Chain A
Amino acid sequence: MSSVTGVSATDELPGPDGRPPLSADAASTGRVGDRIFGGAATLSGVVVIVLVSLIAVFLIVQAIPALADNSANFFTSREWAPGGEEPRFGILEFLWTTVTASTLAMLISVPVGVGVALFITQYAPAWMRRPAAALVDLLAAVPSIVYGLWGLITFSPFFKPVQGFMEDRLGWFPLFSPTGISGGTIFFIGIVLAIMVLPIVTALSREVFDQTPLAHKEGALALGATKWEMIRTAVLPFGRPGVISASMLALGRALGETIAVTFLVSALADGSPWTWSLFNGGETFASKIANNAAEFSNPSKTGAYIAAGLVLFVLTFIVNSIARVVIERRKAFTE
């Protein structure tokens, strides 16, 4: 366990002795105590499998009838009118908003997070390292509902003029064209999400950078490299897989963030024109579900939202899997 974010970096590090843990199967004696204890361990694992299977079954069972009734294309439609005689719903808008806002969050938090990690591990004076690390971890101790309140009440009024300025000066660029949405834009959500996931990126990267073999660093320095060149040639290449997996885990968190986004987001009216602008509104999967969960009154309507939830589930899972694969490859590489 490496940080308050609940994300672990040790995953990608070999054991202290550089060897995988020993298989102790052969040591089992088959005594009663062993059978009970081993049984309990196996049972717990099976419970986890059962739980996840139940969730998957629940999602699929609820989603399928609604999807079967859907008269719009689920993946390409921007309409959202579930329930009723002829339900029409598609996830394109949520998919766009969710992915764009999260990507934006990554574009901000990864460079800054890596910079902070490098600062803590390479640049900060020794006395400052622990306090600096603790401060960044403090960001992770702030519950997401508080980020939501802060974003809504304090940050949003501050950000509005910034957005206005960007719309004025950069409006010619499709990504920044004005849309008439006053606040709670994709851009704004992206920034808040970036702040929320920053400690995840930092905590993990910090640990990986700390593991850079001394020989690599000293080697670089001995060849006359400046500190930055040493970082670029020794620390960053060593830490790259760790940074990638950290980013993926952070991305997973950003995709599924619920309550803060619900507070902040500006929903679009039906039939709003499509635009590439980041200053457009639009709900994410999680905020759409959370905002309407109280009104799930019948199976067909619920099913539509669950289907959207299923897409989010798959999306998050893909991202987590990529992180996993990167970690595994890194392990194979170091071993």
Chain B
Amino acid sequence: MSVSRISALGAIALSGALALSACASENTSTTTPAGNGTSAGATGSANCFSGDLKAEGSSAQKNAIDEAISVFQNACTDANIDYQPTGSGAGIKQFIAKQVDFAGSDSALKTVEKDGAIESEDAAKSCGSPAWNLPMVTGPIAIAYNVAGVDKLVLNADVAAKIFDGKITVWNDPAIAALNKGVTLPATPIKVFFRSDESGTTENFTKYLKAAAPEAWTYETGKKWTGKGEGKEKSAGVATATKGQDGGITYVELSYAQQNSLKMAQIDTGSGPVELTAESAGKTIATAEQTGTGNDLALKIDYATKEPGAYPIVLVTYEIVCSKYADAETGKKVKAFLQTFSSDEVQSKLGEQGYAPLPAEVATKVKTAVDAIS
């Protein structure tokens, strides 16, 4: 078994299709050999299973995974896949507690000790094999605002950090005005809204502030908000509050900003203001480097990127899986679903939902890794 798996791994690296036939032959008779992976339009012939698959975690990827689940379930009517968008930390916790089959997290499993535990080790112990971080969805985080009469707003990391730290308190502050020549800014007080629950969005946003404006943002980065403002529960909470408050500003996933028709600030990274689009966010992801080894694809995002046209505030949602499931059936289910999720067909649809595409190189690696799950 393990020998054939290793051989399969080698084959996958060369050709997705070849690897899949190897997998299929190993998977006995229940699965239909499918041309997932690199070939397009493969989801129609997904490796169907019957029964339940449970996942939990990041709410940032909710719409993306809902889409993937719909595609998979449409092809496989006996499969039930549930995703609980309760939060990254919750996903990892329930994954380690063996309550779910895989987790979605806005940050890779931590390999250093935090609060007396090392996430990656705990996950590996729970799996009985190393756990992998597979980047699947990348979501831009918008700095969404609601200021009457201001339709276009440019911020940079330094000013954003000062706003979210309560150092800049009115919209017509000279620092903001300097970035927005020709825009009439009102004297409205700034109302910052933050996530009162612990959140991967908060973690990624503060990582950005820390990386791009280390002098203005002196706090630790983390899931718990350390800046100023008024806390609201979950993305929906901060988006609603901002929508209902003149002078409001918050950080929230792109899809929530769009749903609530909030205006989004452009970010000036030093090479001119960049609007938030799937492409501009994708440029930042493209500069990310891989920190994991082998099929563990943890990425390190360069939040301080100065690349022209790159929108720097992004988060990557990882699917956290066991490399080898103790229950082979579960492994097959996870693999089958993630093959669909990582397929070009599903990934190309995610742009419509406000997600940025994975860079081609990363996408290929993800497919390879998914195929190696057992």
> Which residue of chain A has its CB nearest to the CB of B164?
A269
Q: Which residues of B contact A57 (CB under 8 A)?
A: none
Judged by a CB distance under 8 angstroms, whether A295 is at the interface is yes
A-B contact number at CB 8 A = 89
Q: Is the CB of B233 within 8 A of A291?
A: yes
Q: Which residues of A contact B93 (CB under 8 A)?
A: 294-297
Q: Is the CB of A291 within 8 A of B197?
A: yes
Q: Is the CB of A298 within 8 A of B227?
A: no
Looking at the assembled complex, report how far the CB atom of A206 sits from the nearest CB atom of chain B, in whole angstroms.
36
Q: CA of A200 to CA of B283 in the docked complex: distance in angstroms?
A: 58
Q: Which of B209-217, B237-245, B327-335 contacts A (4 or more CB under 8 A)?
A: B237-245
| Pick from A267, A291, A298: contact of B230, CB under 8 Å | A267
Judged by a CB distance under 8 angstroms, whether A12 is at the interface is no
Judged by a CB distance under 8 angstroms, whether B361 is at the interface is no
Looking at the assembled complex, report how far the CB atom of A103 sits from the nearest CB atom of chain B, in whole angstroms.
23
Q: Which residues of B contact A266 (CB under 8 A)?
A: 196, 230-232, 241
Residue among B166, B223, B231, B244 with the highest chain A CB neighbour number at 10 A = B231
Judged by a CB distance under 8 angstroms, whether B300 is at the interface is no
Q: Is the CB of B197 within 8 A of A295?
A: yes
Q: Is the CB of B87 within 8 A of A297?
A: no
In B105-119, the 8 Å CB interface with A consists of 114-117
Q: Which residues of A contact B230 (CB under 8 A)?
A: 180-182, 184, 266-269, 281
> Which residue of chain A has its CB nearest to the CB of B232?
A266
Judged by a CB distance under 8 angstroms, whether A262 is at the interface is yes
| Pick from A269, A292, A301: contact of B197, CB under 8 Å | A292
Q: Is the CB of A152 within 8 A of B196?
A: no
Q: CA of A180 to CA of B231 in the docked complex: distance in angstroms?
A: 12
Judged by a CB distance under 8 angstroms, whether A313 is at the interface is no
> Which residue of chain B has its CB nearest to the CB of A288?
B196
Looking at the assembled complex, report how far the CB atom of A281 sits from the nearest CB atom of chain B, in whole angstroms.
6
Residue among B92, B116, B189, B226 with the highest chain A CB neighbour number at 10 A = B116
Looking at the assembled complex, report how far the CB atom of B192 sits from the nearest CB atom of chain A, in whole angstroms.
8
Judged by a CB distance under 8 angstroms, whether B355 is at the interface is no
Q: Is the CB of A180 within 8 A of B90?
A: no
Q: CA of A156 to CA of B240 in the docked complex: distance in angstroms?
A: 11
Q: CA of A184 to CA of B240 in the docked complex: distance in angstroms?
A: 12
Judged by a CB distance under 8 angstroms, whether B225 is at the interface is yes
| Pick from A183, A262, A297: contact of B233, CB under 8 Å | A262
Q: Which residues of A contact B189 (CB under 8 A)?
A: 180
Judged by a CB distance under 8 angstroms, whether A157 is at the interface is yes
Judged by a CB distance under 8 angstroms, whether A5 is at the interface is no
Q: CA of A266 to CA of B196 in the docked complex: distance in angstroms?
A: 8
Mask, B218-255, CB within 8 Å of A = 1, is 00000111111111110001001100110010000000
Chain A residues at the B interface, C-beta cutoff of 8 Å: 81, 83-84, 152-153, 156-157, 160, 180-184, 262-263, 265-270, 272, 281, 283, 291-292, 294-298, 300-301
What are the 8 closest A-B residue pairs judged by CB atoms, nearest first?
A: A267-B231, A267-B196, A294-B90, A295-B89, A295-B198, A83-B115, A298-B115, A294-B86
In the assembled complex, 5 residue pairs joining A and B whose CB atoms fall closer than 8 Å, in A order, are A182-B230, A182-B245, A267-B232, A283-B196, A297-B115
